[in-house]
A and B are shown apart, each in its own frame.
Chain A
């Protein structure tokens, strides 16, 4: 690998990790779409701040972007608090408005500046290695790596410091308020992190990938664990792995890197959705199948137990009676009888199904529970 490739991969990994941390809380708060809104509207903050400082590399741009990110949240809440539109509609109203103002400002007033609305959507991470951090003449690597590294450290530090507050305000905002931890403060703090992360990341990878990295890996991690710290860790790992995988996919297909990374995030989520050990679709389907068979066996045992020792027993215990009585198709009924026999719950004697002691006990427990 060339050093430029290593730089690109490092930037991608750091961006993915930085996005996964606030993304985890967005997903748990059911506010995933807020990442979409903020990652677009921060452009307005960048444009406005640029008009003030006239310097594309000024850190003031990040401050402006973060402020507009918070403004987005504030406007969405103001619109939805009228009670006349729902929150998702409010997001759909606010974010195109702010974003399109930014696009108009760029196209009419800043046409000759490198503020390109295409780059906003998809970014160009391949250029990241060429923009280098060279204080006092030394070369310390790509600027994007330093910016995103700093944002990652901020995100991790804030999450570590305020982990209990974030958890409490996310799970039960009313209790948070009653205990004196302002949920609004936590909310806007988190949104500030989202905004800063979005503005830092979208310069490198574009807003589409910011959304993908904030929502996809946490959504996948959510299906894999039921502990919050593990969900955070898994989000980071899944995001970073997707970013690396996406980079190689892009090289293979000679395609846009950010687009490929977002695609791999989607594929990773799909795989987890299908194959997650407890909550995946495959595991759920298998569990349901197993339960169906086990329930059918229980019905058979209870039926036999009910008629055991009654005059009707001879008639009720014939294998072919099960099909009629339980309305089971013949193959299904045969298989229930077969699996129950294999498990030592019943035996077939003189064309009669008889409970074994174990089968009798199973039927008794099934009725009691």
Chain B
């Protein structure tokens, strides 16, 4: 596949020694992020652990005090085309006067460059992406009339239409209905089946093992990272959350049993 040729054997995302501080307070401290191609990775940690900051730093939206980010072995700036971003739903103004289809079409802009306008082919790609997330019936809806879950699916469609190799998602499951949650999970699996890589900030410890292959536990520093069945343990969770959630959902062996609460 051409994708493999272009991307080689390097890690999909490799961030090394990322350090970033707001004022005096360190938000990320010497954090490494290593994401192999074709996996679904969750970034898990308490509030203020720097999860969103980590994603935004990888995307070049924040400038780290130290460290570098490589995508398939080359600096992010050269590989921007390969990375799609799904921000938190609350980060934009949903009263903005436009339609769901128009928001999804924004994902095609990078291929157009400055000035050139999206045309029929961009719109049909956007429509296809909306169909993929089950939202084609809402294409011409004003975005404020969509439910939270529908808005999240519009954001996912916008990332899909970018046709990237790596998808960075900031809490895609935050406040969505059960239908949307299933739709997102199916979408993540479809992306993985296509050899794409997903890194998602995730809050629900109960579903980490079910939805993701790998996990990075973060609390300003990287506590642990690797395959879920090896890394997502009670011990590591306690280290990440400071003992507050000891015993929640962590599992030390196998998969398939219900997490205990």
Given contacts A163-B117, A171-B96, A174-B87, is CB(A179)–CB(B110) below 8 Å?
yes
Q: Please give the distance in Å from A186's CB to the nearest CB on chain B.
A: 10
Ranked nearest first, the 4 interchain pairs of A and B with the lowest CB-CB distance are A226-B142, A179-B110, A226-B97, A178-B85
- Residues of B within 8 Å of A180, CB to CB, are 80, 110
In the complex, B23 has a CB within 8 A of chain A: yes
Interface flags for B116-132 (1: CB within 8 Å of A; 0: not) read: 01100000000000000
In the complex, A167 has a CB within 8 A of chain B: yes
In the complex, B144 has a CB within 8 A of chain A: yes
Whether the Cβ atoms of B56 and A222 lie closer than 8 Å is no
In the complex, A332 has a CB within 8 A of chain B: no
Interface flags for B59-83 (1: CB within 8 Å of A; 0: not) read: 1110000000000000000001001
- Which parts of B16-75 form the interface with A (CB within 8 Å)? 23, 56, 59-61
Query: Nearest A residue to B76 by beta-carbon distance?
Result: A178
Assembly CA distance A180 to B80 (angstroms): 8
Specify which of A28, A174, A230 is in contact with B56 (CB 8 Å cutoff).
Answer: A174
In the complex, B91 has a CB within 8 A of chain A: yes
Whether the Cβ atoms of B23 and A170 lie closer than 8 Å is no
- Which parts of B90-107 form the interface with A (CB within 8 Å)? 91-93, 96-99, 102-103, 106
Specify which of B92, B98, B158 is in contact with A228 (CB 8 Å cutoff).
Answer: B98
Interface flags for A154-185 (1: CB within 8 Å of B; 0: not) read: 00000001111101101110110111110000
- Residues of B within 8 Å of A168, CB to CB, are 106, 109
Whether the Cβ atoms of B114 and A171 lie closer than 8 Å is no
Please report B residues at the A interface, Cβ cutoff 8 Å.
23, 56, 59-61, 80, 83, 85, 87, 91-93, 96-99, 102-103, 106, 109-110, 112, 114-115, 117-118, 142, 144, 158, 162
Whether the Cβ atoms of A222 and B114 lie closer than 8 Å is no
In the complex, A327 has a CB within 8 A of chain B: no
Assembly CA distance A151 to B226 (angstroms): 58
Whether the Cβ atoms of A179 and B96 lie closer than 8 Å is no
Given contacts A28-B96, A174-B56, A174-B85, is CB(A164)–CB(B109) below 8 Å?
yes
Assembly CA distance A167 to B190 (angstroms): 31
Query: Nearest A residue to B143 by beta-carbon distance?
Result: A226
In the complex, A227 has a CB within 8 A of chain B: yes
Whether the Cβ atoms of A178 and B59 lie closer than 8 Å is yes
Q: Please give the distance in Å from B243's CB to the nearest CB on chain A.
A: 32
Q: Please give the distance in Å from B102's CB to the nearest CB on chain A.
A: 8
Assembly CA distance A175 to B61 (angstroms): 9
Whether the Cβ atoms of B23 and A83 lie closer than 8 Å is yes
Whether the Cβ atoms of A222 and B91 lie closer than 8 Å is no
- Residues of B within 8 Å of A162, CB to CB, are 114-115
- Residues of B within 8 Å of A226, CB to CB, are 97-98, 142, 144
Q: How large is the interface on A (under 10, 10 to 19, 20 to 34, 35 or more residues)?
A: 20 to 34
Query: Nearest A residue to B91 by beta-carbon distance?
Result: A174
In the complex, A231 has a CB within 8 A of chain B: yes
Whether the Cβ atoms of A164 and B117 lie closer than 8 Å is yes
Whether the Cβ atoms of A172 and B109 lie closer than 8 Å is no
Whether the Cβ atoms of A164 and B97 lie closer than 8 Å is no
Assembly CA distance A225 to B144 (angstroms): 12
- Residues of A within 8 Å of B85, CB to CB, are 174-175, 178
Whether the Cβ atoms of B59 and A172 lie closer than 8 Å is no
Whether the Cβ atoms of B99 and A171 lie closer than 8 Å is no
- Which parts of A211-228 form the interface with B (CB within 8 Å)? 222, 225-228
Query: Nearest A residue to B145 by beta-carbon distance?
Result: A226
- Residues of A within 8 Å of B99, CB to CB, are 227
Given contacts A163-B117, A164-B112, is CB(A171)–CB(B80) below 8 Å?
no
Given contacts A177-B61, A178-B83, A228-B98, is CB(A171)–CB(B93) below 8 Å?
yes
- Residues of B within 8 Å of A181, CB to CB, are 109-110, 114
Known A-B contacts: A162-B115, A168-B109, A171-B93. Give 10 more (CB < 8 A). Answer: A30-B93, A164-B118, A167-B98, A167-B102, A167-B106, A172-B91, A177-B60, A178-B80, A181-B110, A227-B97
Subset of 30 A-B contacts with CB under 8 Å: A30-B93, A83-B23, A162-B115, A164-B112, A164-B117, A165-B114, A167-B102, A167-B106, A170-B96, A171-B92, A171-B93, A171-B98, A171-B103, A172-B87, A172-B106, A174-B59, A174-B85, A174-B91, A175-B87, A177-B61, A179-B80, A179-B109, A226-B97, A226-B98, A226-B142, A227-B98, A228-B96, A228-B98, A230-B97, A231-B97
- Residues of A within 8 Å of B97, CB to CB, are 28, 222, 225-228, 230-231
- Residues of A within 8 Å of B23, CB to CB, are 83
- Residues of A within 8 Å of B142, CB to CB, are 226
Assembly CA distance A172 to B115 (angstroms): 18
- Which parts of A193-233 form the interface with B (CB within 8 Å)? 222, 225-228, 230-231
Residue among A28, A165, A172 with the highest chain B CB neighbour number at 10 A: A172
- Residues of A within 8 Å of B56, CB to CB, are 174
Assembly CA distance A162 to B117 (angstroms): 9
Whether the Cβ atoms of A172 and B92 lie closer than 8 Å is yes
- Residues of A within 8 Å of B83, CB to CB, are 178
Query: Nearest B residue to A228 by beta-carbon distance?
Result: B97
Q: Please give the distance in Å from A227's CB to the nearest CB on chain B.
A: 6
Assembly CA distance A28 to B98 (angstroms): 12
Residue among A164, A170, A225, A228 with the highest chain B CB neighbour number at 10 A: A164
- Residues of A within 8 Å of B144, CB to CB, are 226
Assembly CA distance A195 to B192 (angstroms): 49
Assembly CA distance A235 to B93 (angstroms): 20
Whether the Cβ atoms of B61 and A178 lie closer than 8 Å is yes
